[in-house]
Amino acid sequence: MLRPPETFLTARLAARRATVADAPAVLAAYANDETVTRYLSWKAHADVKPVEEFLGHAEEAWRTGKGAMPWLLHLRDTSELAGSIGVSLGTGSAMFGYVLAKKHWHRGLMAEALSSLVEWSLAQPSIYRAWAFCDVENPASVRVMEKAGMQREGVLRRWHVCPTIGSEPRDCTVCARVK
């Protein structure tokens, strides 16, 4: 079974597999911020417990290769935790999701991380499609995908629930790079 690398480096970021022990740092850096979680599938947390649960599932995914496998992104110059990016491998495809602490937005960091993983995924003989989706009202995320070489394919209507906004599924922009 195909397994992503547990670590990777970009010009400014050092990425490593997330573990349960990272929960307090993840909570403090971005998981407690509802501006950050607005378009995500989970609400901002006040407590470390749900973050530990999520990271427990992440450890299981890294063990089995099934489900979303997240890395934590640390700045190489200060070692500060900046955010996270994850991949889910399907038949012939790699799907990405990502989040960055607000203080690190607008510096091109996520495009840097996503570009690196898109390159890795499409270099695998069995992967033909690198893709991601985001809320139609999240243009910064669409730009990140475009900067990573993906093209807009369309809108997935009523695709994803953002619990910070409401309980109904919302329309999403889907982007992909294929070979």
Ligand X SMILES: CC(C)(COP(=O)(O)OP(=O)(O)OC[C@H]1O[C@@H](n2cnc3c(N)ncnc32)[C@H](O)[C@@H]1OP(=O)(O)O)[C@@H](O)C(=O)NCCC(=O)NCCS
For residues 23 and 111, which CB has a smaller minimum distance to ligand X in the complex? 111
For residues 120 and 159, which CB has a smaller minimum distance to ligand X in the complex? 159
For residues 16 and 38, which CB has a smaller minimum distance to ligand X in the complex? 38
* Distance, C-alpha 116 to centroid of its chain: 13
CB of 63 to ligand X, least distance (A): 25
Report the C-alpha gap between 75 and 10 in whole angstroms.
10
Return the residue matching tokens 């990016």.
85
Binding region for ligand X (CB under 6 A): 36, 39-40, 97-100, 105-111, 134, 138-141, 143-144, 147
Element (H, E) at 151: strand 151-161
Q: Which of 172, 177, 105 is nearest to 140 (CA)?
A: 105
Indicate the residue type of 97: G
CB of 125 to ligand X, least distance (A): 27
CB of 143 to ligand X, least distance (A): 3
